[in-house]
Amino acid sequence: MRATTIHAPHDIRVEEVPDAVVRLPQDAVVRVLRACICGSDLWAYRGESAREPGQRIGHEFLGVVEETGSEVSSVSRGDLVVAPFVWSDGTCEYCREGLTTSCEHGGFWGAPGSDGGQGEAVRVPYADGTLVRLPAEAAQDDRLLTGLLALSDVLGTGHHAAVGAGVRPGTTVAVVGDGAVGLCGVLAARRLGAEQIIALGRHTARTDIARSFGATDVVAERGQAAVAAVRELTGGHGAHAVIEAVGTEQSMRTAVGITRDGGAIGYVGVPHGSGTGLDLGEMFNRNIALRGGVAPVRTYIPELLPDVLDGTVDPSPVFDLTVPLEDVPAGYAAMDDRSALKVLIKS
Amino acid sequence: MRATTIHAPHDIRVEEVPDAVVRLPQDAVVRVLRACICGSDLWAYRGESAREPGQRIGHEFLGVVEETGSEVSSVSRGDLVVAPFVWSDGTCEYCREGLTTSCEHGGFWGAPGSDGGQGEAVRVPYADGTLVRLPAEAAQDDRLLTGLLALSDVLGTGHHAAVGAGVRPGTTVAVVGDGAVGLCGVLAARRLGAEQIIALGRHTARTDIARSFGATDVVAERGQAAVAAVRELTGGHGAHAVIEAVGTEQSMRTAVGITRDGGAIGYVGVPHGSGTGLDLGEMFNRNIALRGGVAPVRTYIPELLPDVLDGTVDPSPVFDLTVPLEDVPAGYAAMDDRSALKVLIKS
């Protein structure tokens, strides 16, 4: 079969790899219908996260079950399924608590020895714990299928940030980051009842999506000017709940600056620059909480799925470029130069 | 009147200062019966926090109302009262939300131009918002009066850490810091229903108090050995709720290391070394939350007071040395060399 591999920074290839097969009784093989490229894939693409030459890549996919191991009971051949970006056994202490990303047997697609999502098929460990069945008829609805793909990562991650930030009905929310996760954070905040949603971003193509997702205000400034603008919009106080969806020192500094005293930052941007940018003294004096991390998306899918199915939540606009599998390298280049927001891969 | 002043590092004096008087209609003057020295006062004593020469010091006191301004209605001359370590107006948006430490008119005892708690009397701004009345008969009970003094800071601060860490019935709690706040964190965790309470500390005089306050285990190791010991005691996972009551880089690093995936650190140690020691990457991967800051003690007093009055909670053992006002400098020296845990000042 064909799959995407990464050999060195900026060296992404689509090449022949061994077919995905059932190796263990808990495995399933999923033929990929939709996959995509994540902002976090760019860290590997840019060489900021190390990868072994030839390692698979891609952690978001949905498709059709092709084969199942003898112990798999929750999905069958022919089922339409979506996979979260981390596999998990569904039975360990952490999985039972809903923290599937800390599963004792969990793992990340594309890790050495495992398949990545950007390929023709994927061997799925612990299929019962990992995969979520989708209605078969969704396969006939192109836009819906694209929206459902967002359940694999960005929608659940935006939701995790909103939950971490403490978004509740009536709250004021600010979102740092105009990528797909930040935009999904806007969607999630609206879904959780936020009254005011301030999106920080300078690219009108993106802030237009933010507005269509529920943002009530847009702040184009950066740094201290952004802090001043958000305070201006919030009676001088800042936002109760801040979604941090970037992960850089600058974005974290901005997040702290725009959070209201006693508020919380829900952070889901993979941290780059460990700790720096986080002014603990300011957080301490103003009682600002920090909650978040790698999103246990598997746990959120059953909660978010009905709203995607009935159209209440439609994250599909975050995909603004579609490529066939063989053009994945061009998709990376487009996301790297920010000409694309998020790239959809259609097999 | 006499009051404690700080002139330079290690230069603490008790000297004549202008009498505390009512200056504004919202003021009250409180004659101090009990005050104490806080671990955070040592930062000034050691020169790690800057002070103006001659500045007052001390932020924990209880006493008797001596005079009130024309607009004060909640306390009267002769009332026994306790003051939280920050004054607050009780009416602003933050005070109404319970975050009295962010009060728009709030301030810290001993700030330039204000009285400190370690003196014969204190001018209290916004007396209605700040002071809490205590039963008059408590003045006859020496041990109770000492316990009530802990409401001014350490008990409420320990409670804030426990709340921030998410202590609930059945949780496993670990406490970093064997000072008065850490020990009050143990008390607060027990009060909130923690099942297992692990106190980290090497001084048996202090860990004995921790055990009497409800600690089920004591870990004497430090650094990585402490992390290993706490994990050993918690089935390999770490504690759901970690109380951080020190504020150094090392203590924060330990706190992160002993927190269970998905757990929270309630931090109340004033941060020294902004951000460093906080491994955001590890916190992200394991979904560890950080909540806390300067404790809005005024808000907690009404909740904690009944338990102190009826003896359910007795923080008085944290005071292990008593001095008269004139010996406050010796009290600082005793806390600085750790021969005293917390010094009580009896007028």
Structure confidence by residue, pLDDT tens digits, B197-231: 999 999 999 999 999 999 999 999 999 999 999 99
B169: number of Cβ within 10 Å: 8
Give residue A277's pLDDT. Answer: 67
Question: Range(s) for CATH 3.40.50.720 in chain B?
Answer: 157-292
More confident residue, A277 or A307: A307
- Reading the block at residue A90, the tokens are 């569904």
What is the mean predicted confidence (pLDDT) over B163-183? 97
Share of chain A above pLDDT 90, in %: 94
pLDDT on residue A335: 96
Angle at B94 between CA A194 and CA B165, to 5 degrees: 75
- What is the predicted pLDDT for the residue at A275? 58
Going by C-alpha positions, the residue among B196, B161, B193 that lies closest to residue B177 is B161
pLDDT band for A279, please (50, 70, 90 cuts): confident
Among the partner-chain residues B275, B285, B293, the one whose CB lies closest to the CB of A276 is B275
CA distance to partner chain A, nearest, from residue B282 (Å):
9
Q: State yes or no: pLDDT of A273 exceeds 70.
A: no
Question: Where are the domain boundaries for CATH 3.90.180.10 in chain B?
Answer: 2-153+296-346
Contacts of A155 (CB under 8 A, 6+ apart): A184, A187, A188, A304, A308, A313, A315
Interface test with A, best of B278, B284, B288, B297 (most A CBs within 10 A): B284
User: For residue A150, what are the contacts with CB-CB under 8 A and spacing of at least 6?
Assistant: A180, A184, A308, A315, A316, A318
The confidence score (pLDDT) of residue B114 equals 97
Q: Is a pLDDT exceeding 60 seen at residue A45?
A: yes
Hey, what CATH topology would domain A157-292 get? Rossmann fold (3.40.50)
pLDDT of residue B264: 98
Span A197-226, average pLDDT: 97
**What pLDDT sits at residue B131?**
98
pLDDT at B271: 84
Average pLDDT over chain B, rounded to an integer: 96
Q: Express each pLDDT in B250-295 by its tens digit.
A: 999 999 999 999 999 999 988 876 556 688 999 999 999 999 999 9
How much is the average pLDDT of B13-29? 98
Contact A22, A69 (CB under 8 A): yes
Find the Cα–Cα–Cα–Cα dihedral A230, A236, A241, A242, rounded to 10°.
30
Q: What b/e sequence results for A109-133 when a residue is b if at least 16 CB atoms lie within 10 Å of its CB, and e otherwise?
A: bbbeebbbbbbbbbbbbbbbbbbbe
Strand ranges in B53-182 using DSSP code E only, listed in sequence order: 55-56, 61-68, 80-83, 86-87, 107-108, 121-124, 132-134, 172-176
Contact between chains at A275 and B270 (C-beta distance less than 8 A): no
Mean pLDDT of chain A: 96
Average pLDDT estimate for B310-327: 98
Cβ-Cβ contacts under 8 Å between A and B: the total is: 99
Give the residue-averaged pLDDT of A208-215.
98
Percent of chain B with pLDDT over 90: 94
Q: Quick check: A263 contacting B, CB < 8 Å?
A: no
- pTM score of the predicted model: 0.96
* Fold assignment, B2-153+296-346: Quinone Oxidoreductase; Chain A, domain 1 (3.90.180)
Q: What number is the average pLDDT over the span B313-342?
A: 97
